[in-house]
Amino acid sequence: MNGEDSSIDLSYLAPPADGDVAALTEPPTFSILIPTYQSADTVGDAIESALAQTVPAGEVIVVDDGSTDDLDAALAPYRDRVVLVRKENGGGASALNAGADAAGGEFVAILDADDAYDRRRIEAMSALAAARPDLDLVTTDARFVVGGRGVGSFLTDNPFAIRDQRQAIFESCFVGGWPAVRRERLREIGGFDESLRTGYDWDCWLRLLLGGSEAGLVKSPYYEYRLHPGSLTGSRVSSLWDRVRLLEKAETDSGLRDEERPALSRALRRHRSRAVLAEARAKVDGEAPSARLGRLALSRGIAPRARLAALLAAVAPPLARRVLPAERPPEERLAEGGG
């Protein structure tokens, strides 16, 4: 990530400002949160990248979510330069909440323990937050890396919504999973939903946007998202159903407007259909039995193709392969918003 080029590209995408927005004379402060669980082998690289920023964060907070590996040894070289928060294992959302509670920065910036920041990332987000103090979410594009090789970027295949972010967030998590969020706003909405095993980031951004927040993105890929074998495959079915759950939650959000309900209903239909298709594929590939495919085939709110795939997977799995969509590489699914 730390190339020789020290220049920084501050071109960004964001909704038009509502009236005159005066740039800040001093940029806001940032806390970097690194949630970690069984990541002793990778967390050192993440910390190194957080500490190497051209504009230093006010603090780097590592949240140990009940790890049982040798995290202490991995953290030993950095113990005087990071804040360590220890907690019982409770999942990614609870780790982020614990880190945010301990943070003192105006923004908390997320860094997964197996990823890395470009050394200019805080500088870029700081400049955007100063230029547009009306934004509660600031982020950058992310570069996908598999086996040390770049395989594209998030922004290339997942356009960042500039207008009508409130409805765009129903279709995809266009903000990504690694932004910096204004800490006070995060507290106001109750933080990350700890009942969600996955998708808690998407759920959080959705609730922020429905609550009146807006997001901006620096177009350069100053985040390195490192994909590992199986990182997007093993729990794919449950992850897709978590997305359905977070959209169902949005139906009761007090910030949802009546005119937005049709768009939310369409998004729910699409995501339910994708979850059903993934469950049907898991059955025909022998990855996981499913006794409920017949019931899913009769459920409401799914596309005809998903209904047929579920029915065939339940009664005639070989035939189901004919209607199931072709599998795509994990990085392509992630580029479309994590699917």
Q: Closest Cα partner for 250 from 209, 214, 213, 216? A: 209
Higher pLDDT, 338 or 89: 89
> What's the rounded mean pLDDT across residues 149-156?
88
- Alpha-carbon distance of 92 to 107, in angstroms, equals 19
> What's the rounded mean pLDDT across residues 22-46?
96
Domain range list for the chain:
12-227, 236-325
How do residues 9-30 score in pLDDT, each as one tens digit?
A: 789 999 999 888 999 999 999 9
- Alpha-carbon distance of 273 to 302, in angstroms, equals 5
- Specify the pLDDT at position 148: 81
Q: Is the pLDDT of residue 292 over 60?
A: yes
CB–CB of 21/232 below 8 Å? no
Q: Which residues contact 331 (CB under 8 A, 6 or more apart)?
A: 144, 146, 151, 152, 227
| Residue 93: how many other CB atoms lie within 10 Å | 22
pLDDT band per the 50, 70, 90 thresholds, residue 288:
low
Q: Which two tokens stand for residue 64?
A: 């140990």
> What's the rounded mean pLDDT across residues 318-322?
86
Task: Quickly tell me which residue has 């990071």 as its tokens.
Answer: 82
| Residue 321: how many other CB atoms lie within 10 Å | 14
- Specify the pLDDT at position 64: 97
Higher pLDDT, 9 or 156: 156
- Specify the pLDDT at position 234: 46
- Alpha-carbon distance of 285 to 277, in angstroms, equals 12
CB–CB of 161/137 below 8 Å? no
CA separation (Å) from 229 to 158, 232, 233, 272, 329?
Answer: 22, 8, 8, 26, 11
Mean per-residue pLDDT over the chain, rounded: 91
CB–CB of 176/142 below 8 Å? yes
How do residues 242-278 score in pLDDT, each as one tens digit?
A: 999 999 999 999 999 999 999 999 999 999 999 999 9
How do residues 128-147 score in pLDDT, each as one tens digit?
A: 999 999 999 999 999 999 88
| CATH numeric code, 12-227 | 3.90.550.10
pTM for the whole structure: 0.90
pLDDT band per the 50, 70, 90 thresholds, residue 232:
very low
How do residues 160-184 score in pLDDT, each as one tens digit?
A: 999 999 999 999 999 998 999 999 9
